[in-house]
Amino acid sequence: MTEAALSAFLTLLQPYNLAMLLTGVLAGVFVGILPGLGGTVGMIILLPFVYGMDPYAALALFMGMTAMLRTVDSIPAILFALPGTAGSQATIMDGYPLARKGQAGRALAAAFTASMIGGVIGAIALSLSLPLAKPIISSLGSPEFLMLAILGITMVGVLSGKRPLRGIIAGFLGVWLSTIGGAPSAVDLRYTFGLPYMMEGMPLVVLAMGLFAIPEIVDLVVRGTTISDTPGLGKGVLNGIKDVFRNIWLVLRCSVIGTFVGFLPGMGASAANWMAYGHAVQTAKDKSQFGRGDIRGVIAPESANDSSAGGSLIPTILFGIPGSAAMAVFLYALVVLGINPGPTMLTQQLDMAYMMVWGLALGNIIASLVCMAISAPIARITTISIHYWIPFALVIILLASYQSTRSWGDLLLLIGISVLGWFMKRLGWPRPPLLIGFVLGGIMERYLWLSSMRYGAEWLTRPLVIVIGIITIMSILAGLGAGGYLRSKFNPKAVEDD
């Protein structure tokens, strides 16, 4: 095994393979910085180029792109509140307010440093998992996956601070929206109103753009200023790097969360991103600045976002189970390259597996350095009058949304969701739980159906299900402050007296 790891490392360092890794990294800048394109599009763009290519060089190219996409996506998230990919949604929550305070450089530097550490941890996890992953993943069935999704949803209560009820309702709205379209377990077309567009369900990109991007643009327009409230970037970059090392345990914990969530098929970077954010809020002593520009709100999701890349590769290359749409495209690319994903990789093509490990680790380091170099000039955009970039941002949002299913429905839905998102923001209804509910809703229903079909009601008695269930209940109680919230609603004085 050590021999294979060393051989793969030396292969990666060959000039051609290294050049391919760099090409992937640089190509990732352009795909990741355009909101809505994301990992799947990035992988699709590379596909036509890898036919007939040397498999090692092609793997370097893909790993470079994967690493960069998960790093550079924080630039539009922090500067313009536009999620570059699904994995940077939670980064907006504190990254964007930091940019508005004139600390864009700090937020970006922290995001890139956390991404680099997270990415390397993800690669290490992938490396360690090669001999260990099989028994772990085999012990988890659909009931455990279902419970993990439920645990993710209950975090919305914790995330919603002093308004947990609104947060939970928004979460349920998201879950309900995920039921639109074809049912996974039946032939029903649900809540489509007879519209062919709705049959495939609601595209995540349109929902994310409508909920976050447009309302933030409207907010900026009515304020009539720049994104940043203060001129200049401040002592950003160095402080951002220091922030990461000051919160190194948070980075490590969130990287582990990201790796684990990424490793679970169907969960993906988006769920990892939000769960890490939830963990940061949950474990912070002073929660008052979250949502208003707390650097931990940038560090946590970004470390999880990048580490989830390593995690998502585990089921893809070891079992041939893609954990996300991007991984499905990557799986196809592996087959095209003559690589057989699955357990045989551990016996016959181990050097290929290690090539991915090294490619991901090195790719993350290069990607973070490249992003760090371009962050300062890019962050200056936030000090320019909003009217210079608003039409461009609007067009990018429209194009990214239209890219989802390429129909008028995308644009009309974008308008509807934007109106909802803007009212939610203005009236104090938290929007992130809606998105979390939407991401996890589809996963929940699918695993609920699989669990019921396979185990009947007995799935509820599985030991791991019970353990996750207890953690879930504790999470709900933590979210409601063990009843303090409900008491305060009807008798505020009682809580003050407490």
Partner 1 sequence: MTDASKMDTLGRPEQRRLRIQDRVLNIGLICLFGTAAIAALDFSQAGKLFPLAVSLVGLFLSVLQLLFSLFGQPMADDEGSGQIEIAADLETPPDLFRARLIRFIFWVSALFLGIWLLGFKIAVPLYMAAYLRVEAKAKLWLIVVLIVLTIYLLFYHFSRVLGVVWPEPLIAKIINLPGFLM
Q: Which of residues 291-350 bind partner 1 (CB under 8 A)?
A: 291-292
Q: Phi then psi for 182, rounded to 5 degrees? A: -65, 135
**Stretch near partner 1 under the rule CB under 8 A, chosen from 65-73, 156-164, 321-329, 356-364:** 156-164
Q: Which is nearer to partner 1, 200 or 219 (CB)?
A: 219
CB of 292 to partner 1, least distance (A): 6
CA–CA dist 234, 380 (Å, integer) = 11
314 within 8 A of 263, measured Cβ to Cβ: yes
Contact mark string toward partner 1, 112..151, x via CB under 8 A: ----------------------------------------
Q: Which is nearer to partner 1, 61 or 350 (CB)?
A: 61
Q: Is 287 helix (H, G, I), strand (E, B) or coil?
A: coil
Q: Is 218 in the site for partner 1 (CB under 8 A)?
A: yes
Q: Which is nearer to partner 1, 181 or 262 (CB)?
A: 181
Q: Is 99 in the site for partner 1 (CB under 8 A)?
A: no
Residue 38, sorted as left (phi over 0), alpha (psi -120 to 50) or beta, turns out to be left
Q: Is 425 in the site for partner 1 (CB under 8 A)?
A: yes
* CA-based R_g, the chain, Å: 22
**Stretch near partner 1 under the rule CB under 8 A, chosen from 70-78, 130-138, 216-224, 465-473:** 216-224
CA–CA dist 472, 150 (Å, integer) = 7
CB of 408 to partner 1, least distance (A): 6
Cβ atoms within 10 A of the Cβ of 466, count? Answer: 12
Strand partners, 190: 181
Work out which of 93, 109, 417, 440 binds partner 1, going by CB under 8 A: 93
Q: Is 264 in the site for partner 1 (CB under 8 A)?
A: no
Work out which of 19, 124, 140, 176 binds partner 1, going by CB under 8 A: 176
> Residue 435: CA atoms inside 13 Å, Cβ hemisphere, count?
30
Q: Which is nearer to partner 1, 19 or 189 (CB)?
A: 189
Q: Is 185 in the site for partner 1 (CB under 8 A)?
A: yes
DSSP string, 109-173: HHHHHHHHHHHHHHHHHHHHHHHHHHHHHHH--HHHHHHHHHHHHHHHHHHTTT-HHHHHHHHHH
Q: Is 188 in the site for partner 1 (CB under 8 A)?
A: yes
Total residues contacting partner 1 by CB under 8 A comes to: 83
Q: Is 407 in the site for partner 1 (CB under 8 A)?
A: yes
CB of 385 to partner 1, least distance (A): 6
Work out which of 238, 392, 461, 494 binds partner 1, going by CB under 8 A: 392
> Is the Cα torsion angle 378, 382, 385, 390 positive or negative in sign?
positive
Q: Phi then psi for 30, rounded to 5 degrees? A: -75, -35
CB of 291 to partner 1, least distance (A): 5
Contact partners, residue 480, CB within 8 Å, separation at least 6: 157, 164, 486
CB of 102 to partner 1, least distance (A): 16
248 within 8 A of 125, measured Cβ to Cβ: no
Strand partners, 181: 190
Strand partners, 189: 182
Q: Between the CA of residue 490 and those of 336, 428, 487, what are the distances in Å?
A: 63, 19, 6
One-letter amino acid at 481 equals G
Q: Is 235 in the site for partner 1 (CB under 8 A)?
A: no
Work out which of 222, 285, 338, 377 binds partner 1, going by CB under 8 A: 222
**Stretch near partner 1 under the rule CB under 8 A, chosen from 105-113, 169-177, 357-365, 462-470:** 169-177
429-458: contacts with partner 1 (CB under 8 A): 429-433, 441, 444-445, 448-449
Q: Is 460 in the site for partner 1 (CB under 8 A)?
A: no
> Residue 430: CA atoms inside 13 Å, Cβ hemisphere, count?
26
Q: Phi then psi for 226, rounded to 5 degrees? A: -90, 175
Q: How many residues does the chain have?
A: 498
Work out which of 335, 394, 460, 471 binds partner 1, going by CB under 8 A: 394
Instruction: Give the tokens for residue 421.
Output: 């998102």
Q: Is 402 in the site for partner 1 (CB under 8 A)?
A: yes
CB of 438 to partner 1, least distance (A): 12
Work out which of 10, 132, 199, 221 binds partner 1, going by CB under 8 A: 221
Q: Is 159 in the site for partner 1 (CB under 8 A)?
A: yes
Q: Which is nearer to partner 1, 49 or 245 (CB)?
A: 49
Q: Which is nearer to partner 1, 41 or 326 (CB)?
A: 41
Contact mark string toward partner 1, 36..75, x via CB under 8 A: -----x---x------------------------------
Q: Which is nearer to partner 1, 274 or 358 (CB)?
A: 274
Q: Is 285 in the site for partner 1 (CB under 8 A)?
A: no
Cβ atoms within 10 A of the Cβ of 460, count? Answer: 13
Contact partners, residue 353, CB within 8 Å, separation at least 6: 4, 8, 130, 317, 345, 346
